[in-house]
Chain A
Amino acid sequence: MTTQPLLLVSHVCKAFGGVQALKDVSITLKRGEIYGLIGPNGAGKTTLFNCLTGLYVPDSGQFVFDDKPLVCNAPDKTVRQGIARTFQNIRLFANMTALENVMVGRHARLRSNVLSDILRTPFNRREEQATKDQALQLMRYVGIAHRAHDLAKHLSYGDQRRLEVARALATHPKLLCLDEPAAGMNANETAGLRQLIETIRADGISVLLIEHDVQLVMGLCDRVAVLDYGELICEDIPAVVQQHPRVIEAYLGSGAHA
């Protein structure tokens, strides 16, 4: 494995109207890392996610992923390059089955086209079968295989989160971006999620994690970056970050650190 970082975010700025959501943010994510992105509400975490995954175009700055610059405003290309994501408020294909959801995740990795779809060539049949098998395997991996044929919207909240992770993993990413995966989960579900994220990392996929659950982040992440009002306050291992005066200020308000 090279020592080159997997993801290099340099000097990214993004404004909405008058609000500067991201101010010159630069972070580095190493291969095989679980990297936490924390900060109060409105700090710009999801904006950074959206810029990274091509849903927003940053005003300036750039992303280098796996030694190649990322194309902005082309989410499908970002996925092909190996970045997958989940959403803060779950965005599943509600009226498709759980299995179909995961199969959609395979889309960018498949080579069938309309013509082979219509003709049902032997290649197409093999690929469809393989897609289905892989999707089922991923569902077992995240532990919801028994819900494969239920509509996504009929799954429980925790299962929907897991399904979204499975769908993201189906794109065969090098980096998995999770946007507040533990939001709304009880302690049990959170523990399960933590286990899942560790397994994913152990299988060679780096994880970028936005999370409010500080305990989860500090226990799980190798390194953490803290954003406040669109600015990067610090980027370090959890133990150091926890002691950083500006982090304490951002979280508890000024005057809290005596």
Chain B
Amino acid sequence: MKMAGRFLARLRNPNGSSMHWVAWVVLGVLLATMPWIIGASFGNTWLRILNFALLYVMLALGLNIVVGFAGLLDMGYIAFYAVGAYLWALLASPQFGLHWPLWAILPLGAAVAGLFGVLLGAPTLKLRGDYLAIVTLGFGEIIRIFLNNLNAPVNITNGPQGISAIDPVHFGSVSLARPIDLGFTTLPSLVAYYYLFLVAALLIIAIALRLESSRVGRAWAAIREDEVAAKACGINTRNVKLLAFAMGATFGGVAGGLFAGFQQFVSPESFGLLESVMVLCMVVLGGMGHIPGVILGALLLTLLPEFFRHIAAPLQQSLFGKVFVDPESLRMLLFGLALVLVMRYRPSGLWPSPQRRREIDDVLNTDAPADLPVNPT
């Protein structure tokens, strides 16, 4: 962690060290060669997992806008991922015989997801934290239940079976589902998707970073810190909150679209509450509101459980001669345990922003009283 931090500091600090551009180049080369290395040494399974990790980075950054920046606890976030995914599935599959191109669906998916974000945000504006949590959770479930059941009397979503044979991501006649011949080499499908997702993720990181240090980012932080004071500063809290919901949802919609094109299959099962919880955990575990922390959280929570899943069975086999515990449930067991332990020993996340870290220390050391209730006179 410390090394990563120092590395990051170098990336940030252009005049402090002459190493900074070297760090950028190293990072760039690492990201560019990653799929080849992973593909060659661990195979396609891990390449696929890597791609999912990038999707989760996008999702976590989207949720981070709502939860981390604006302080609104959204527990149904995966609904927007679902909206993006199903929109792609419906507009580019044999389901309705539509085959729209990427440049049309992806912006539309983002927009529709954003609209759903506003739809969720509007009735919940006045709700306090925990009420908001449960309403958003309910919203997520409603979306999933509809996806699950909208196959009768009119078949829209194809119900629990989901929609298959979805068009892969393609640019003109070049489909990412097949190896792409670049002349000097061929790009395997999974690697092509990796690059696409990497570009999308970098774009989203850039947007998130810019939003954080902007007029609207400050307004979000102000609402998170003290809503009444934010109003007194001339912030239209309603609009700014809706904007947070919409913005976060947009990221989710984009990630969802990419997911549908990548997987070529969507079903309601992928959008359950556990997924929402998972993304929330990425944000909180990584370090709420701190973009590098959130990215770390997303990567860790996608990669580590997979890692356990893959080593659990062989490890048990070699140690005890048989598999005692189903690797899948062992993976979730450890996940649950990790959540409890990380929160206990690092309640502000693994990599919180330097400011937040200080805040936690303050609270833990001083037992500071909560702010005093105010009498109306």
Q: Which A residues fall within an 8 A CB radius of B?
A: 16, 21, 41-47, 50, 53-56, 75-76, 79-80, 84-85, 87-89, 91-97, 100, 103-105, 107-110, 112-114, 117-118, 120, 124, 127-128, 131, 151, 153, 167-168, 170-171
Tell yes or no: B268 within 8 A of A by CB. Answer: no
Contact residues in B for A84 (Cβ distance below 8 Å):
232
Q: Is the CB of B225 within 8 A of A79?
A: no
Besides the known contacts A53-B232, A114-B211, A118-B207, 11 further A-B residue pairs in the complex with CB atoms under 8 A apart? A16-B376, A85-B232, A92-B229, A100-B221, A104-B221, A107-B219, A110-B215, A118-B210, A127-B215, A151-B355, A168-B232
For chains A and B in complex, what number of residue pairs have CB atoms within 8 angstroms? 125
Known contacts A55-B231, A87-B232, A118-B207; A112/B221 CB under 8 A: no
Q: Per-residue 0/1 for B216-232: is the Cβ within 8 Å of any A Cβ (1 yes, 0 no)?
A: 11110110011011111
Q: Is the CB of B219 within 8 A of A104?
A: yes
Q: In the complex, which residues 236-274 of chain B have their Cβ closer than 8 Å to any Cβ of chain A?
A: 236-237, 243, 247
Category for how many chain B residues contact A: 35 or more
CA distance A17 to B216 in the complex (A): 37
Tell yes or no: B372 within 8 A of A by CB. Answer: yes
Q: Which B residues fall within an 8 A CB radius of A?
A: 207, 210-211, 214-219, 221-222, 225-226, 228-237, 243, 247, 355-356, 358-359, 362, 371-372, 374-377
Q: Is the CB of B234 within 8 A of A42?
A: no
Known contacts A91-B229, A94-B225; A76/B234 CB under 8 A: yes
Q: Is the CB of B236 within 8 A of A76?
A: yes
CA distance A117 to B69 in the complex (A): 15
Known contacts A76-B235, A79-B233, A91-B228; A112/B377 CB under 8 A: no
Q: Is the CB of B235 within 8 A of A107?
A: yes
CA distance A54 to B230 in the complex (A): 13
Q: Is the CB of A103 within 8 A of B218?
A: yes
Q: Is the CB of A117 within 8 A of B217?
A: yes
CA distance A84 to B235 in the complex (A): 12
What is the minimal beta-carbon distance from B61 to any residue of chain A, in angstroms?
A: 13
A21 contacts which of B225, B358, B374, B377 (Cβ < 8 Å)?
B377
Contact residues in A for B225 (Cβ distance below 8 Å):
92-96
Q: Is the CB of B232 within 8 A of A100?
A: no
A-B contact pairs, 30 of them (CB 8 A): A21-B376, A21-B377, A46-B376, A46-B377, A56-B376, A76-B234, A76-B237, A79-B233, A79-B234, A87-B232, A89-B372, A91-B228, A91-B232, A93-B222, A93-B230, A95-B355, A95-B356, A95-B359, A96-B225, A104-B218, A104-B221, A105-B233, A107-B234, A109-B234, A117-B217, A120-B210, A128-B214, A153-B362, A167-B233, A171-B233
Q: Is the CB of A107 within 8 A of B207?
A: no
Q: Is the CB of A79 within 8 A of B222?
A: no
Q: Is the CB of B211 within 8 A of A117?
A: yes
Contact residues in B for A53 (Cβ distance below 8 Å):
232
CA distance A91 to B374 in the complex (A): 11
B226 contacts which of A50, A92, A171 (Cβ < 8 Å)?
A92
What is the minimal beta-carbon distance from B205 to any residue of chain A, in angstroms?
A: 12
CA distance A84 to B362 in the complex (A): 31
Q: In chain A, what residue has the closest Cβ to B289? A: A95
Contact residues in A for B371 (Cβ distance below 8 Å):
89
Q: Is the CB of B210 within 8 A of A93?
A: no
Between A21, A75, A112, A120, the greatest number of chain B beta carbons within 10 A of the residue's beta carbon is seen for A75
Q: Which 4 A-B pairs have the closest CB atoms?
A: A108-B234, A79-B234, A117-B214, A93-B225
Known contacts A94-B225, A112-B215, A118-B211; A151/B358 CB under 8 A: yes
CA distance A94 to B222 in the complex (A): 9
Q: Is the CB of A171 within 8 A of B234?
A: yes
Between B214, B217, B221, B235, the greatest number of chain A beta carbons within 10 A of the residue's beta carbon is seen for B214
What is the minimal beta-carbon distance from B132 to any residue of chain A, in angstroms?
A: 20
Q: Is the CB of B229 within 8 A of A42?
A: no
CA distance A124 to B358 in the complex (A): 31
What is the minimal beta-carbon distance from B102 to any residue of chain A, in angstroms?
A: 21
Contact residues in A for B374 (Cβ distance below 8 Å):
88-89
CA distance A55 to B371 in the complex (A): 19
Q: In chain B, what residue has the closest Cβ to A80? A: B234
